């Protein structure tokens, strides 16, 4: 992983920091694993804007990712490491022994030509996927299921990882990237290693236009709005009085919005750090 600082040939390039892409091996995706991706522009089925600050952006194709890793016991060779415009992590194209090709989230250190496998009685090596019951304690893991067979839902973004802390009964204790410690069923699957592209947090856009390429529209500060538009709008001059809150009046800055009666509360041993 590496980043490059561009020469300041234009004002927009002056502070720009880009990804070195030294681990990327091809710029042509596998056509059979592409799907069309329609943009909503933040509008619902009636055409009304329901989410602000979304719209525009470069046209993209969706890469179909195998989050379930359900081809158990069949070894796969890593053919390419590729960029995916739909996520911060890089993806790896696998070619299985039976001829099938699939995309998976790439882990740090995954190399072209490497053989990885998922299922039972698998060595705990980078890129291999297995149940939490078979992973050695203290191992760094990512792409974790929350329910058996659901597919990976946690620790999937660039550079993220969790740690397997303990096992007790039918549950494993996992420390998540947020700092939360929670119980997950031992029959849930996880992948060994840290998610690739850990330098993603060091990137600097350099100019506002790049946000527009990514489909992000400008966001208006709440204090600058009128009273009709936001609870914190209005007033003479730059008066930012009142309590910070959302457009719907829900307080921010420390107000807990999680339900005290939520069913999954019993699986959380320690809440995330504030």
Q: Is residue 111 included in any domain, yes or no?
A: yes
- Whether 233 contacts 226, CB under 8 Å: yes
**In terms of Cα–Cα distance, which of 148, 143, 155, 111 is closest to 133?**
148
Q: Is residue 177 included in any domain, yes or no?
A: yes
Compute the distance between CA of residue 143 and CA of residue 156 in angstroms, rounded to an integer. Answer: 5
Q: Is residue 252 included in any domain, yes or no?
A: no
Residue range of the domain that includes 185: 3-44+58-201+264-270
Collapsing DSSP to helix, strand or coil, 134 comes out as helix
Indicate the helix (H) or strand (E) that contains 172: strand 171-175
Collapsing DSSP to helix, strand or coil, 156 comes out as coil
| Structure-block tokens of residue 2 | 């590496």
Compute the distance between CA of residue 199 and CA of residue 196 in angstroms, rounded to an integer. Answer: 9
| Structure-block tokens of residue 176 | 């998540």
Q: Is residue 145 included in any domain, yes or no?
A: yes
Collapsing DSSP to helix, strand or coil, 89 comes out as coil
Q: 């698998």: which residue's tokens?
A: 122
Q: 């995954």: which residue's tokens?
A: 110
Q: Is residue 7 included in any domain, yes or no?
A: yes
List the CATH number of the domain containing 32. 2.40.50.140
Give every CB contact of residue 137 below 8 A, 6+ residues apart in sequence: 164, 165, 166, 167
Instruction: Divide the 274 residues of the chain into consecutive groups of 10 and give the mean pLDDT of each group.
Output: 91 95 95 96 96 96 97 96 97 97 97 96 96 97 97 97 97 96 97 96 95 96 91 84 88 91 96 82
Q: In what order do the strands lie in the sheet with 76-82?
A: 101-105, 91-96, 76-82, 115-116
Compute the distance between CA of residue 166 and CA of residue 174 in angstroms, rounded to an integer. Answer: 7
Q: Compute the Cα dihedral for 209, 24, 176, 274 and give only its sign.
A: negative
pLDDT of residue 1: 63
Compute the distance between CA of residue 104 and CA of residue 91 in angstroms, rounded to an integer. Answer: 6
Compute the distance between CA of residue 209 and CA of residue 216 in angstroms, rounded to an integer. Answer: 9
Q: Is residue 124 included in any domain, yes or no?
A: yes
Q: Is residue 231 included in any domain, yes or no?
A: no
Please name every residue paired with 96 in a beta bridge, in sequence order, or none if there are none. Answer: 76
Q: Is residue 235 included in any domain, yes or no?
A: no
Compute the distance between CA of residue 89 and CA of residue 92 in angstroms, rounded to an integer. Answer: 10
Domain count, the chain: 1
pLDDT of residue 31: 97
Compute the distance between CA of residue 102 and CA of residue 96 in angstroms, rounded to an integer. Answer: 8
């Amino acid at each position: 992983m590496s980043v490059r600082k561009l020469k300041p040939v234009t004002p927009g390039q002056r502070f720009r920091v880009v990804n070195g892409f030294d681990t990327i091996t091809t710029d042509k995706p596998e056509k059979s694993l592409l799907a069309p991706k329609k943009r909503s522009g933040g509008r619902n089925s009636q055409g009304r804007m329901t989410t602000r600050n979304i719209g525009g952006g470069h046209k993209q194709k969706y890469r179909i990712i195998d989050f379930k890793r359900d081809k158990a016991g069949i070894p796969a060779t890593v053919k390419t490491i590729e960029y995916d415009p739909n996520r911060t992590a890089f993806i790896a194209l696998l070619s299985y022994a039976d001829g099938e090709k699939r995309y998976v989230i790439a882990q740090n250190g995954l190399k072209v030509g490497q053989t990885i496998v998922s299922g039972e009685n698998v060595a705990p090596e980078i890129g291999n996927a297995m149940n939490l019951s078979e992973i050695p304690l203290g191992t760094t893991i990512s792409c974790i299921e929350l329910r058996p067979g659901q597919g990976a839902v946690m620790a999937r973004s660039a550079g993220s990882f969790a740690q397997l802390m303990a096992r007790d009964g039918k549950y494993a204790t996992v420390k998540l990237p947020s700092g939360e410690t929670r119980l997950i069923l031992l029959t849930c699957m996880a992948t060994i290693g840290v998610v690739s592209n850990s330098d993603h947090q060091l990137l600097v856009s350099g100019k506002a236009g790049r946000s527009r390429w990514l489909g992000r529209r400008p966001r208006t500060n709440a204090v600058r709005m009128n009273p009709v538009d936001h609870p914190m709008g209005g007033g003479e001059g730059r008066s930012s009085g009142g309590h910070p809150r959302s457009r719907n009046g829900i307080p921010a800055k420390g107000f807990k919005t999680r339900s005290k009666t939520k069913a999954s509360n019993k699986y959380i041993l320690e809440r995330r750090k504030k």
